[in-house]
Amino acid sequence: MNTKYIDFNKENKYLTEVLPMIPTNTILNKTLTGLGATYGELKVERHSIIIEPNVPVIVGKIKDPKHKNAFGVYEGIYSDDIVAYLEKNKGYHKILTTPESFNKVKDAFFEVGINIYEECFLLFDECERIIQDVCYRQDIALPIDDFFRFENKAMVSATPLRFSDPRFEKDGFRVLEIKPTFDYKRDLYLFFTNNILKALRDEVLKSLSQRRKELGNEKDICIFLNSTDSIYAIINQLGIEKESAVFCSSRSVSKLKERKFNQAHDQWTAKRMKKYNFFTSRFYSAVDIELEDTVDLIMISDIHYAEHSMIDPNTEAPQIIGRFRNGVESVFHITNLNENIVIKTKDDIEMYLKCSEDIYFKIKNLHDTTDNIFYKQAFREAMVVIPYSKFINEDGTKDYFSIDNYIDEEIIKSYYHKPELLNSAYLNSKRFNMSYKSYFCPLSDKDRLKRERNKDALKKKNEETLRQLILLSENEKEYESSIIQEYRNELFIYNSFIVEAFELLGADKIKELNYSRPKIREAMLLKQHQEGIAGLTFQKAIDNSFRIGSIHTRVFIKSELIRLYELFKIKHKGKITAETLNTYFDVVEVKKNKQQAFKLIARR
């Protein structure tokens, strides 16, 4: 597509000053957020339908007194409601709708006898979201076929992506790019870490607190993280429940309320803001967050726990910053990395897609040319499992938006392989002045995730705890004792038994005993007995071998008691027999496998 540039000077405030009306068959690259492209379309003298990516955007626009003639369509608004608006409204129709609700708009226009394709201008706002969201929200691309049926249409964004759908070329689309004549770059501090929580608390929040003390001003903190679970974990671990608010989808609101966190909302208002404000991707673009003061902005990507929290430096980062109409005081991006991510260039990705496409259509050709019903069935089943099948529409045509989504996601993933790649992506966007820093801890987010995944498998849990304890002990000289102690306490909460065993016996002994809890406990008691660390250790060793309610043969009881007395070097008055157990327990005689045995009833 050809590109035409339009200069935008610093004294200009709104898009309409340089572009009074968005022309048809245009992809408008605003470059800057907050230029009022939607506002201009709501005021221009023509019937307009504006497709917005999310409900909060629409709610925000229709509540604005500047847009009294605008009507919002989303879940819960029906075709009858739209018909009532069309019949009542005397001026130009201005409808804002989600992609999923677009069909209701079509039905309403048909009902009142208006040819929607000829009489309305269709504007797809924040158009990069069609590509970015289509993998998990297929309905976002539903209006695309209709989009190309409109005589007058355009797409707009401050961060558009390139579309591969050939219909753009066929309809003669061109790119209009707003070109600022002034420096609009802003400072961004990029933190690479292996522990998100510690970097947030000990580096970013600490530095902001220090700045507040020096300047004497208090700023709200806005944290963008596309994972409700990670948000909840951060709030809990920082102990900031009473000072926090979360803005997310209605489903996530319910999820948080089930966890007894009640300051979660699916719509943003200034009154709901707290000291710490968390936003999911629902609020990354289009929403206007209008505050009286600037905020401190923190973006977080926790790719080990939530890969979908990766932030694209070219689209999402500028959009997030652009939400704040009064500006931001400072911008941080905290992220961990994954060296196992395979770095792919766009050429690599396109080569893979071409190969996958060839394989798919070769099998399809075999399917189409065979008359054998069993071969046809086998080929059809093979086509379904081939990865390329997800790029094919139900009618057999290519799903270009899913292809674009795959390319975009793979490129973004590559940024998170190592620091230089992500930093370069930010620099290449030409929107940021970069400063970056690494902050590493003895235990990482990956270690935390392993602990969480091993909760149900006891031996794996013990092995992972020991591995992390060894890692801590190897790093004792590199970190302050308070940091090592903090991680030790985390592990103690997670698995106190192995932490105590490690500190008393060491790693080699635990491995030698094959993580057996009874054997480790006995070894700990013996060690305590030998070193005089704790009293009644022999009594505890007896309890470790003989449990209340258990049944043991007389032969086992005698041999086990002899072993324990010898192990602890305790002399027994008289001969040790099975009856010696009566010294410690009330027992009754029973049979076990036809042998004489005792059942332990109670401790004496």
- From CA 277, how far away is CA 283, in angstroms rounded? 12
Please compute, for residue 442, the number of CA atoms within 13 A of its CA located in the half-sphere on the CB side.
Answer: 24
Tell me, rounded to whole angstroms, the distance of Cα 30 from its chain centroid. 28
- For residue 332, name the pLDDT band (cuts at 50, 70, 90): very high
What backbone phi and psi angles, to 5 degrees, belong to 359? -65, -45
**Least trusted range by pLDDT, from 4-13, 38-47, 63-72:** 63-72
What average pLDDT does range 307-326 have in this prediction?
Answer: 94
What backbone phi and psi angles, to 5 degrees, belong to 191? -110, 120
Q: Name 144's Cβ contacts closer than 8 Å, sequence gap at least 6.
A: 130, 165, 401
Percent of the chain with pLDDT over 70: 97
* pTM of the predicted structure, to 2 decimals: 0.79
Instruction: Flag whether pLDDT at 403 surpasses 80.
Output: yes
Contact 4, 177 (CB under 8 A): yes
- Residues 446-500 have pLDDT tens digits of 887 777 766 667 888 888 888 888 888 887 777 667 777 788 888 888 888 898 8
Q: Give me the pLDDT at residue 350, please.
A: 94
**Least trusted range by pLDDT, from 138-142, 343-347, 503-507:** 138-142
The single-letter code of the amino acid at 89 is N
Q: Could you say which DSSP state residue 324 is in? A: B
- From CA 343, how far away is CA 313, in angstroms rounded? 17
Measured CA to CA in angstroms, residue 437 lies from 83, 202, 417, 419 at distances of 56, 13, 16, 9
What average pLDDT does range 358-363 have in this prediction?
Answer: 94
Q: Give me the pLDDT at residue 538, please.
A: 76
Q: Give me the pLDDT at residue 470, please.
A: 87
The single-letter code of the amino acid at 599 is K
- Which strands, in side-by-side order, build the sheet including 186-193? 264-265, 244-247, 276-279, 221-224, 295-301, 328-335, 186-193, 432-439
Measured CA to CA in angstroms, residue 422 lies from 196, 319, 428, 526 at distances of 16, 17, 10, 54
- From CA 522, how far away is CA 540, in angstroms rounded? 8
Average pLDDT, the chain: 90
More confident residue, 372 or 478: 372
Q: Give me the pLDDT at residue 433, please.
A: 97
Q: Give me the pLDDT at residue 479, please.
A: 64
Instruction: Name the region of 594 (left: φ>0; alpha: ψ -120 to 50; beta: rest).
Output: left
Beta bridge partners of 187: 433
Q: Give me the pLDDT at residue 492, please.
A: 84
- For residue 355, name the pLDDT band (cuts at 50, 70, 90): very high
SS3 47: strand
CA angle, corner 44, sides to 123 and 96, nearest 5?
40
Instruction: Flag whether pLDDT at 33 surpasses 90.
Output: yes
What average pLDDT does range 53-73 have in this prediction?
Answer: 90
Q: Could you say which DSSP state residue 264 is in? A: E
For the chain, the C-alpha Rg in angstroms (whole number) is: 33
**Least trusted range by pLDDT, from 1-10, 83-92, 102-111, 453-462:** 453-462
Contact 23, 153 (CB under 8 A): no
Q: Which two tokens stand for residue 83?
A: 């018909």
SS3 7: strand
Quick one: angle between helices 346-369 and 400-415, nearest 10?
Answer: 140
SS3 161: coil
More confident residue, 105 or 485: 105
- Residues 187-241 have pLDDT tens digits of 999 999 999 999 999 999 999 999 888 887 788 999 999 999 999 989 988 999 9
Q: Name 290's Cβ contacts closer than 8 Å, sequence gap at least 6.
A: 270, 325, 326
What average pLDDT does range 281-307 have in this prediction?
Answer: 89
Burial category of 319 from C-beta neighbours within 10 Å (exposed 0-12, middle 13-18, buried 19 and up): buried
Instruction: Flag whether pLDDT at 256 surpasses 80.
Output: yes
Instruction: Flag whether pLDDT at 534 surpasses 60.
Output: no
Burial category of 318 from C-beta neighbours within 10 Å (exposed 0-12, middle 13-18, buried 19 and up): buried
Identify which of 51-55, 418-422, 493-497, 599-603 has the greatest average pLDDT: 418-422
What average pLDDT does range 19-32 have in this prediction?
Answer: 96
